[in-house]
Structure 1
Amino acid sequence: MRIAVIDLGTNTFKYILCELQDGKLVRLASDLQFVRLGKGGISDGRILQEAVDRAIHTLSDFKKQINRVGADEIVAIGTNVFRAAKNAEEVIEEIYEELRIKVHVISGEEEARLISFGVQHEINFEGEKGLIMDIGGGSTEFIICDEKKIYWKESFEIGAQRLMDAFYKEDPISLESQKEMYDFFDEELASLNEQISIFQPKKLIGSAGTFDTIRSMYEARTRETLTEEKNFVGTGIFNAMYQELLTLPRVQRLQIAGLISERVDMIVPAAISLQYVIEQVQTDRIYISESSLREGIFWQKHS
């Protein structure tokens, strides 16, 4: 059975069209577009009409792509921006009236569970516990698990767009703003830090957009392609990239190989949140998973 899964995020919309071949997920088509559904409204709990128009345009294009290849089912999932918006129901209704695509809004806890389901099917945990981190625009999900079991999971409203709105006051970002973010994380992520102490995950695994960007920057910098066998970035190399992101102004960040213009701003607060978590886990590797929420939904349909 061919299933298309569309992830309607705060910053990006993306879909995969997959089927099962010999017990493995095979991607037949995919796309990602920067819709910025939360732009201008997420901090006030609303989705603006111009953002809805961008969403409908993108979803219409996705639907055409999916229909060209052919799918038995289309699943559209709304995440943090829909959970937070007061006008989410009206937006969902407008999308359905225009495109006959029904958006299903899931809780933060369910989002975390599905992310882990996708990652567990891809990453070799080698019998150890890992901490999965999925940085979105509106929320960031954390899951402590191994290849079979989830020990703890939580969704926090500290997505990159929210962090930008709250802390990104100067470019490049000031040391004062960086300290404010760290103080904020100490408070907001107290439960995460407690669970890290309890379960002591050995692997830090990143999924979704921020980590795709880190992968691209790493591959451009080292001319080395990450593979299934070597799917991590050392924290030493990450630290060099991190220092560039924090100290270079926007015009120079745009020149960084592997960093696309659509992520040139949001990568800064996202990288700071990642650096904070690296320090809590005390790891020297960031494993990068190609699988996340969409793949988790696919595997759930086949479980």
Structure 2
Amino acid sequence: MRLAALDIGSNSAQLQVVDVYSGAPPLPAHAVKEPTLLGEELQPDGSLSEEGAQRAAKAVRQAVDAAGRLGVDQLYPFVTAAIRDATNSAEVLELIEAESGIRPQHLSGEQEAHLTYFAAHRWYGWSAGRLLLMDIGGGSMELVLGRDVEPELAVSLPLGAGRLTRAFCASDPPRAKEIKAIRRHVRETLSEVVDRLRWEGTPRRVVATSKTFKQLARLAGAAPQRKGPFVHRELTLAALREQIPRLIKASAKDRSKLPGISRSRARQVVAGALVAEATMGALDLRSVEICPWALREGILLRHLEAMSVNPELPLQALTRNNAPVRPLPAAVS
């Protein structure tokens, strides 16, 4: 069976296709990325502009077309904070459905945290012990702590790299007062959960997922993605602090020329780096290990687990809500 997850985020719509074999891990068979750049289209009232909604709908249609060409049997499309939190999210989803023939689910921040943790726990296995996971997205940051398949603590904070860039960084490069404002805001927001995480005790393993952490690790000298998922990658707090002044001084255009920094994320990587630094510092973490599996893998793994128990289980059971997942159009299914 060929499964795929379609992640419609603030920077792109990413289709990840896996071939399912008994006893084998769901490693990617194909990946397709279509730009959305929704962070540039958020209006003062919290809505996405018509141009942004149209861009998202076009990206989803192209991804769905790709899924058809690649012979995908089941597709799970979902949106994260960029569309979920928009004041006109219902209208955007309707436009996407009209354009592509599918209606994506929306995942809450807590659902994202649980699914990402589930993927990381599967990647490292039971020997990982107590696991602390950090994930910095465009709209939110997830912190998850646990030992078993289900986490003990999962929180989602409004500390996404794109969200903070829009809220605080009007200048390019950012001004000193903008950087100061981000740092103050991040500290204040983290204070809500840091004491709880400290109280829970020291984790045996600390891991980070998301494109933000992967790019920061690459900038600090980790192996490029083309080396594959089994290469050990980590980001130390010391290396991150060495790179932050370099990121702050550069324009977005110049940042996009740095190792690992993509053009679409070059503007928001400063905010992402500041969130990573503040979180690692607050929790006394010298380093984090970069986990290659994250939200998309978590969704696919949950589906595979559910199918092993009940092969007829509908796909929407994974979302734990009542919104239906539309089947693929006839040309795709």
Q: TM-score, length-normalised on structure 1?
A: 0.90
2:5 aligned residue: 5
Partners in 1 of 2:254 and 2:261 — Cα distance? Answer: 11
Deviates more, 1:226-235 or 1:109-118: 226-235
1:179 aligned residue: 180
**Matched residue type, 1:214:** L
Q: CA deviation at 1:223?
A: 12
- Correspondence list, 1:102-141, <5 A: 102-123=103-124, 126-141=127-142
Q: CA deviation at 1:76?
A: 0.6
2:5 match: secondary structure: strand
1:282 aligned residue: 284
Tell me, yes or no, if the aligned pair for 1:202 and 1:283 is still in contact at 8 Å: no
2:20 match: secondary structure: strand
CA distances 1:84-118 after superposition (whole Å, capped 9, x unpaired): 12221121112112211121112211111111111
1:20 aligned residue: 20
**Matched residue type, 2:69:** R
Distance 1:223 1:297, change over 3 A: closer
1:205 aligned residue: 207
2:163 aligned residue: 162
Distance 1:83 1:251, change over 3 A: closer
2:152 match: secondary structure: strand
Partners in 1 of 2:210 and 2:227 — Cα distance? Answer: 18
1:83 aligned residue: 84
Distance 1:202 1:183, change over 3 A: farther
Partners in 2 of 1:180 and 1:144 — Cα distance? Answer: 28
Q: CA deviation at 1:227?
A: 5.7
Q: CA deviation at 1:27?
A: 1.2
Distance 1:277 1:42, change over 3 A: farther
**Matched residue type, 1:157:** P
**Matched residue type, 1:16:** Q
**Matched residue type, 2:7:** D
Partners in 1 of 2:204 and 2:190 — Cα distance? Answer: 19
Corresponding residue pairs, total? 303
CA distances 1:211-230 after superposition (whole Å, capped 9, x unpaired): 23124324479999586362
- Aligned-residue identity in percent: 23
Distance 1:242 1:222, change over 3 A: farther
2:317 aligned residue: none
2:265 aligned residue: 263
**Matched residue type, 1:70:** G
Distance 1:130 1:281, change over 3 A: farther
CA distances 1:53-76 after superposition (whole Å, capped 9, x unpaired): 211221222122211221111111
Tell me, yes or no, if the aligned pair for 1:203 and 1:285 is still in contact at 8 Å: no
Partners in 1 of 2:254 and 2:139 — Cα distance? Answer: 26
Partners in 1 of 2:126 and 2:289 — Cα distance? Answer: 10
1:24 match: secondary structure: coil
Partners in 1 of 2:43 and 2:130 — Cα distance? Answer: 34
Tell me, yes or no, if the aligned pair for 1:5 and 1:16 is still in contact at 8 Å: yes
**Matched residue type, 2:36:** V
Tell me, yes or no, if the aligned pair for 1:250 and 1:265 is still in contact at 8 Å: yes
Unaligned runs of 5+ in 2: 306-333
Partners in 2 of 1:212 and 1:42 — Cα distance? Answer: 29
Tell me, yes or no, if the aligned pair for 2:41 and 2:49 is still in contact at 8 Å: yes
Is residue 74 of structure 2 the alignment partner of residue 73 of structure 1?
Answer: yes
**Matched residue type, 2:269:** I
Tell me, yes or no, if the aligned pair for 2:18 and 2:26 is still in contact at 8 Å: yes
Partners in 1 of 2:273 and 2:35 — Cα distance? Answer: 19
Distance 1:108 1:220, change over 3 A: closer
**Matched residue type, 1:57:** K
**Matched residue type, 2:213:** F
1:301 alignment partner, one of 300, 303, 324: 303
Q: CA deviation at 1:271?
A: 0.4
Tell me, yes or no, if the aligned pair for 1:220 and 1:258 is still in contact at 8 Å: no
Partners in 1 of 2:44 and 2:199 — Cα distance? Answer: 33
Distance 1:100 1:283, change over 3 A: same
Partners in 2 of 1:295 and 1:222 — Cα distance? Answer: 20
**Matched residue type, 1:14:** Q
